[in-house]
């Protein structure tokens, strides 16, 4: 879209929730509008304020604005990284896109792999920004802005930070809970603005249930909710089945809940998921989002509210609890902490208790700040490197997969609380590069916009001011969030066991998908690709058969990376997927 002067042109993906207020202000200063879109509001606000326009925007976005007069390009990604934005900068050439796959049609595109990104993907099961699997392609970080002068190689970088003005340490716990509840209500109300019906995810967990409760607080606003019905009501991966809780919340709030059946046939759509994701992720949760987006689209619900981000902002992951409990042993002298690490290796990781115990003490001998990034790793560096070829190992001999997070921590000022440091890493990397990446792309794959009220900029700003001791209190994760929702949700929902979208990856890898995985990861295929060591991969298969160690997700990660390579590098099935 061009502005009416013909100077500025924008291409944009996202939603600005306060665009009507911004439009009124601009009209009051004599600005004329030719449409009713938020796109034109951004365009005219940029013309009026320049780069400072970003401080006025409340929403999710990835956009590029071309200044035809000064011949420069300005790109921006929203502060939490809800919307993806990739780019290639090579000499005097610059390309950008919401999807990596669009670069594949560029005649000069190089399919050379970033081996460091591959190592990090195997370590985390997702790729921390700004790297991607293609060495040429980088992703803009959350809140990052670029100014590009075509024909010149230099790029100016700036960052839009989330505002954090003063701690709430002095404030009463009940008052903070009230503030949080009201800010959540306001955030959700602003995101209910739509020209089409608005639906919602409903797992029956705290995050999605709170969003629906606040949306319905003053009368019906949600068209219908969507949840996954696992075949036979079974549990997978030792996780609690969500369905009964989703039904309880729907009944309590009086909303329609559409149950979407899911069984093991879902693995037949893994390659479709890989195509839409652009980046390999060793997680099956994106397919649940895709199924819900498909059902919503059929019902005419083109906008969905999601609970993504609650765990990352308010502290809801097991690693947060493990971090809080470090005080029980981190005072020990180094020899004793090293002893804990060695003793933990005795327990087999084929069972949840052994896995968690070994992960808890895997890096007990390291300093506290060195342990933080390693909480995000699924596997020890030695194990990951054991599946790489000698050529790649030589190239990556000096590469440390934890450097990206270590550098981010060192460049940020913290109050000293370790939980706040971990939540910073959650928000900057895990949330943007994993959760939001698949949530947005799976919705967009079906033309459904997924909004994420729990990471509304004003709510996040408030959450950053809340003391860490109220986010995780006495082993209760998201404590203050739970307190805030007690007037609106049953305690059985608020204080239920934590779960999430899960699928039986371990069962699949050892059972119905094993033949296919072995075929894809055959010695012949591995030698041809030149990334993974046939001997190292065979050792993994041997371990699977012995069932002593939990390496299922590493096998699954290798499988998804090879399938990704067949699609994005070899071009298998691209024509069919484009249609």
* CATH number for position 253: 3.40.50.620
The last residue of one of the domains, among 494, 510, 544, is 494
Same domain, 71 and 189: no
Residue whose C-alpha is closest to residue 224's, from 286, 290, 302, 288: 302
Same domain, 121 and 88: yes
Between CA 134 and CA 115 the distance in angstroms is 9
* Phi, psi torsion values for 481, nearest 5 degrees: -65, -45
Same domain, 203 and 149: no
Same domain, 297 and 270: yes
pTM summary value: 0.93
Q: Is residue 39 part of a domain?
A: yes
Q: Is residue 568 part of a domain?
A: no
Same domain, 149 and 17: yes
Q: Is residue 562 part of a domain?
A: no
Same domain, 184 and 54: no
The total number of structural domains that make up the chain: 2
Q: Is residue 267 part of a domain?
A: yes
Strand partners, 59: 16
Same domain, 307 and 454: yes
pLDDT of residue 562: 97
Between CA 17 and CA 23 the distance in angstroms is 11
Lookup result for tokens 């050439």: 93
Token pair belonging to 350: 């084929």
Same domain, 94 and 138: yes
Helix (H/G/I), strand (E/B), else coil: 435: helix
| 510: DSSP letter | H
CA 326 from centroid of its chain's CA atoms: 26
* Phi, psi torsion values for 231, nearest 5 degrees: -50, 125
Residue whose C-alpha is closest to residue 466's, from 212, 185, 183, 56: 183
Same domain, 131 and 58: yes
Same domain, 184 and 143: no
Same domain, 148 and 186: no
What residues make up the domain containing 90?
8-159
447 to 78, 261, 292, 293, 298: CA distances (angstroms):
20, 21, 12, 8, 11
- Other CB atoms within 10 A of residue 578 CB: 10
Each as own residue / partner, the long-range contacts of residues 62-66 (CB below 8 Å, 24 or more positions apart, any chain) are 62/12, 62/13, 62/14, 62/98, 62/140, 63/10, 63/11, 63/12, 63/13, 63/14, 64/10, 64/11, 64/12, 64/96, 65/8, 65/9, 65/10, 66/8, 66/9, 66/10
pLDDT of residue 102: 95
pLDDT of residue 548: 67
- From first to last of its 579 residues, the chain has per-residue pLDDT tens of 999 999 999 999 999 999 999 999 999 999 999 999 999 999 999 999 999 999 999 999 999 999 999 999 999 999 999 999 999 998 888 999 999 999 999 999 999 999 999 999 999 999 999 999 999 999 999 999 999 998 776 788 888 878 777 789 889 999 999 999 999 999 999 999 888 999 999 999 999 999 999 999 988 899 999 999 876 555 555 555 688 899 999 999 999 999 999 887 888 899 999 999 999 999 889 999 999 999 999 999 999 999 999 999 999 999 999 999 888 888 888 888 888 888 877 776 666 666 777 777 888 888 989 999 999 999 889 999 999 999 999 999 999 999 999 999 988 877 668 999 999 999 999 999 999 999 999 999 999 999 999 999 999 999 999 999 999 998 899 999 999 999 999 999 999 877 655 567 888 888 888 999 999 999 999 999 999 999 999 999 998 887 767 889 999 999 999 999 999 999 987 554 543
- H helix runs in 386-533, sequence order: 390-395, 403-410, 418-425, 436-444, 457-465, 468-471, 479-485, 491-494, 505-510, 514-520, 523-529
Q: Is residue 139 part of a domain?
A: yes
Residue whose C-alpha is closest to residue 513's, from 556, 542, 548: 556
- State the CATH number of the domain containing residue 138: 3.60.20.10
The last residue of one of the domains, among 137, 159, 181, is 159
Same domain, 249 and 214: yes
Between CA 5 and CA 68 the distance in angstroms is 10
| 53: DSSP letter | G
The last residue of one of the domains, among 443, 478, 494, is 494
Q: Is residue 516 part of a domain?
A: no
Q: Is residue 358 part of a domain?
A: no
Longest dimension (CA), the chain: 74
Q: Is residue 420 part of a domain?
A: no
Helix (H/G/I), strand (E/B), else coil: 20: helix
Between CA 50 and CA 74 the distance in angstroms is 10
Strand partners, 126: none
Token pair belonging to 531: 């990334």
């Amino acid at each position: 879209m061009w502005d009416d002067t013909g100077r500025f042109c924008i291409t944009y993906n996202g939603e600005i929730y306060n665009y009507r207020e911004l439009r009124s202000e601009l009209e009051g200063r004599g600005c004329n509008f030719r449409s009713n879109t938020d796109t034109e509001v951004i365009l005219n606000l940029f013309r009026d304020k320049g780069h400072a326009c970003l401080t006025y925007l409340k929403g999710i976005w990835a956009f590029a604005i071309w200044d035809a007069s000064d011949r420069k390009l300005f790109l921006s990604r929203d502060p939490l990284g809800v919307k993806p934005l990739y780019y290639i900068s090579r000499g005097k050439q610059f390309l950008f896109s919401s999807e990596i796959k669009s670069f594949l049609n560029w005649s000069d595109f190089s399919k050379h792999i970033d081996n460091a990104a591959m190592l990090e993907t195997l370590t985390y099961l997702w790729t921390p920004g700004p790297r991607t699997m293609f060495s040429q392609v980088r992703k803009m970080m959350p809140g990052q802005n670029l100014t590009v002068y075509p024909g010149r190689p230099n790029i100016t970088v700036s960052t839009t930070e989330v505002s954090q003005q003063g701690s709430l340490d002095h404030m009463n716990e009940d008052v903070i809970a009230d503030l949080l509840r009201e800010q959540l209500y306001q955030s959700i109300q602003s995101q209910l603005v739509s020209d089409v019906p608005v639906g919602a995810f409903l797992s029956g967990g705290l995050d999605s249930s709170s969003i629906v409760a606040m949306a319905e607080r003053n009368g019906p606003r949600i068209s219908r909710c969507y949840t996954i019905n696992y075949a036979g009501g079974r549990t997978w991966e030792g996780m609690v089945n969500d369905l009964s809780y989703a039904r309880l919340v729907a009944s309590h709030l009086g909303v329609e809940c559409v149950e979407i059946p899911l069984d093991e046939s879902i693995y037949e759509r893994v390659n479709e998921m890989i195509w839409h994701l652009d980046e390999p992720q060793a997680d099956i949760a994106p397919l649940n989002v895709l199924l819900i987006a498909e059902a919503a689209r059929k019902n005419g619900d083109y906008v969905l509210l999601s609970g993504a981000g609650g765990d990352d902002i308010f502290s809801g992951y097991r690693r947060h609890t493990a971090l809080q409990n470090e005080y029980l042993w981190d005072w020990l002298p180094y020899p004793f902490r090293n002893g804990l690490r060695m003793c933990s290796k005795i327990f087999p990781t084929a069972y949840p208790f052994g896995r968690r115990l070994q992960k808890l003490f895997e890096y007990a001998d390291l300093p506290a700040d060195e342990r933080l990034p390693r909480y995000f790793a699924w596997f020890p560096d030695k194990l990951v490197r054991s599946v790489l070829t000698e050529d790649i190992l030589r190239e990556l001999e000096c590469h440390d997969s934890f450097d990206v997070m270590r550098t981010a921590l060192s460049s940020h000022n913290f109050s000293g609380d370790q939980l706040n440091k971990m939540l910073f890493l959650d928000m900057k990397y895990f949330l943007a590069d994993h959760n939001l990446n698949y949530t947005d792309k799976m919705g967009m794959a079906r033309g459904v916009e997924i909004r994420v009220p729990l990471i509304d900029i004003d709510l996040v700003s408030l959450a950053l001011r809340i003391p860490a001791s109220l986010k995780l209190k006495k082993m209760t994760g998201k404590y203050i969030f739970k307190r805030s929702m007690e007037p609106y949700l049953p305690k059985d929902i608020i204080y239920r066991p934590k779960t999430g979208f899960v699928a039986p990856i371990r069962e699949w890898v050892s059972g119905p998908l094993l033949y296919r995985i072995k075929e894809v990861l055959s010695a012949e295929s591995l030698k041809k690709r030149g990334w993974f060591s046939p001997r190292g991969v065979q050792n993994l298969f041997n371990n699977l058969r012995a069932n002593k160690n939990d390496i299922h997700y590493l096998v699954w990660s290798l499988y998804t990376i090879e399938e990704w390579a067949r699609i994005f590098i070899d071009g298998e099935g691209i024509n069919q997927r484009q249609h």
